[in-house]
Amino acid sequence: MLTADEFPNARPRTDEQRRQFVDARQVLEAWELVHDELRHRFGGSVRWVTRRGHEYLHRKVGERETSLGRRSAETEESERAFLSGRSAGQARAAALTARLEAMAPVNRALQLGRMPRLFSRIARRLGEAELLGKHLLVVGTQALYAYEAAAGVHLASDLLATGDADLLRDARPRLSLVVPQIRREGVLALLQRVDHSFALRGPRDFRAFNKDGFWVDLIRPQDRSFVAPTARSTIGDNPAEIHPAPLGGQNWLLNVPKFATVVMSTDGYPVRVATVDPRAFALHKAWLAQRPDRDPVKVQRDRHQARAAAWLAQRHLGLAMDDGALRGLPEQLRALAPELTWAAASAPGQVPDW
């Protein structure tokens, strides 16, 4: 059991920071709703097509075009409703975008920005492609930004400093749900839209890096059978696509609740990040720190990050380390929970009641 003197170095947001963060988060949520409606309900286009002397209303979404029926008062009204709804949605989206742009400098001035701009842009692009949260999860150090954002505190910078990012591939959702264009181009193409200098380290590799030496690793659980892989690992069909590397223990992280929240980028723009339950993160990091084959340089950092995630989960998010929601983790991980449980009885004044 951990005691008060082992609490991580962190500071709470001020009241002004909290108010501004909540306002920015609400604007982002409205922006997401409007763009989701534009993407699905009002996605594509409509047009009239003449067939055998009759006009039919067609709707085209991507490469797929379907008929909505022969011209009539009803189909004409469908066309008007589509066009007017799309126009209204575009106007709302433009207004919300302007609002986010106006808030960005204020967010920066209040020092709300935490997640590095480059990875925030990557997360935003993956979210717009409907990959993040469904087919990919943020794991590793970058996940700590999500936990501290939800808790309303800022962890010490040494816990968060990193020059890479890990994305965990979840192969359980069907690839048919991925937007066709994304299936053709793949994850590497999305990275290159953020920074064109991203390239694979080698053919069929799991690591991509840019001109500044920032690495993005795509990982996946190990297959149960080395002879017959359980699922296709790549998302894109592009021959140059990034290929996830199988790592032991990653399947455990897919058996716990997901954790999604809004994080503030250093450029002042909010972004939604999807990762794993902070308690699972903490237990997994503690397990890694005990492995004999773990890089000694990483062991102490693993321990510190495990304690920080466990502290945020218990002290700020009200999550218990012995929760039944963690049953998807193996016993060897859950057995580490007592080591990451904070002492309930601390002397008055030792720990702020944030």
| Cα–Cα nearest to 9, from 285, 342, 349, 304 | 304
Who contacts 199 (Cβ-Cβ below 8 Å, separation ≥6)?
208, 209, 210
- Model confidence band, residue 175 (pLDDT cutoffs 50, 70, 90): confident
The long-range contacts involving 13-16, CB below 8 angstroms and separated by at least 24 positions, are: 13/112, 13/152, 13/153, 13/154, 16/110
- Model confidence band, residue 351 (pLDDT cutoffs 50, 70, 90): very low
More confident residue, 305 or 352: 305
* Domain end position, chosen among 201, 220, 255: 255
- For 309-341, write each residue's pLDDT tens digit: 999 999 999 999 999 999 999 999 999 999 999
Please spell the DSSP secondary structure of 62-124, one letter per residue.
Answer: TTEEEEEEESSHHHHHHHHHHHHHHHHHHHHHHHHHHHHHHHHHHHHHTT---B-HHHHHHHH
Residues 107, 11: one domain?
yes
Residues 138, 107: one domain?
no
Neighbours of 226 (CB within 10 A): 8
The predicted pLDDT at position 200 comes to: 96
SS3 state at 214: coil
In a domain, 17, yes or no: yes
The predicted pLDDT at position 343 comes to: 66
In a domain, 42, yes or no: yes
Calculate mean pLDDT across residues 52-59.
Answer: 94
Token pair 């601390």 in the structure block, residue = 346
* Domain end position, chosen among 255, 289, 322: 255
- For 122-165, write each residue's pLDDT tens digit: 999 999 999 999 999 999 999 999 999 999 999 999 899 999 99
In a domain, 31, yes or no: yes
Number of domains composing the chain: 3
| Cα–Cα nearest to 238, from 192, 194, 174 | 192
CA distance 327 to 9: 30
> Would the pLDDT of 347 be above 60?
no
Strands (E), the chain: 10-12, 45-51, 54-61, 64-70, 136-139, 153-155, 164-169, 199-200, 207-209, 215-221, 245-247, 258-264, 270-276
Q: Cα 119–192–278 angle (5° rounding)?
A: 25
Per the CB < 8 A criterion, the answer to whether 342 and 315 are in contact is: yes
Residues 206, 104: one domain?
no
In a domain, 117, yes or no: no
Q: What is the pTM (predicted TM-score) of this model? A: 0.90
Token pair 């994304």 in the structure block, residue = 182
Residues 161, 244: one domain?
yes
Residues 251, 152: one domain?
yes
- For 115-129, write each residue's pLDDT tens digit: 999 999 999 999 999
Residues 307, 210: one domain?
no
Token pair 């450029």 in the structure block, residue = 267
As a whole-number percent, the residues of the chain with pLDDT over 70 amount to: 92
The predicted pLDDT at position 275 comes to: 98
Per the CB < 8 A criterion, the answer to whether 57 and 78 are in contact is: yes
More confident residue, 9 or 25: 25
The predicted pLDDT at position 232 comes to: 65
Residue 352 is given by DSSP the state -
- For 233-251, write each residue's pLDDT tens digit: 789 888 889 999 998 888 8
The predicted pLDDT at position 57 comes to: 96
Residues 107, 136: one domain?
no
CA distance 315 to 151: 9
* Domain end position, chosen among 77, 112, 147: 112
- Model confidence band, residue 24 (pLDDT cutoffs 50, 70, 90): very high
In a domain, 332, yes or no: yes
User: Domain limits at 35?
Assistant: 6-112
> Would the pLDDT of 345 be above 80?
no
Residues 222, 138: one domain?
yes
Residues 101, 69: one domain?
yes
Weakest-pLDDT range from 13-27, 174-188, 242-256, 276-290: 174-188
Residue type for position 135: H
Mean pLDDT score of the chain, rounded to an integer? 91
Residues 207, 156: one domain?
yes
CA distance 352 to 114: 22
- For 247-287, write each residue's pLDDT tens digit: 888 889 999 999 999 999 999 999 999 999 999 999 999 99
- Model confidence band, residue 6 (pLDDT cutoffs 50, 70, 90): low
Residues 102, 143: one domain?
no
- For 83-127, write each residue's pLDDT tens digit: 999 999 999 999 999 999 999 999 999 999 999 999 999 999 999
In a domain, 261, yes or no: no
CA distance 287 to 309: 14
In a domain, 331, yes or no: yes
What are the distances in angstroms from CA 176 to CA 76, 135, 201, 232, 346?
32, 11, 28, 12, 52
CA diameter of the chain = 85
- Model confidence band, residue 3 (pLDDT cutoffs 50, 70, 90): low
> Would the pLDDT of 66 be above 80?
yes
Burial (CB count <10 Å: 0-12, 13-18, 19+), residue 200: middle
In a domain, 264, yes or no: no
Residues 102, 149: one domain?
no
- Beta-bridge mates of residue 223: none
The predicted pLDDT at position 43 comes to: 92
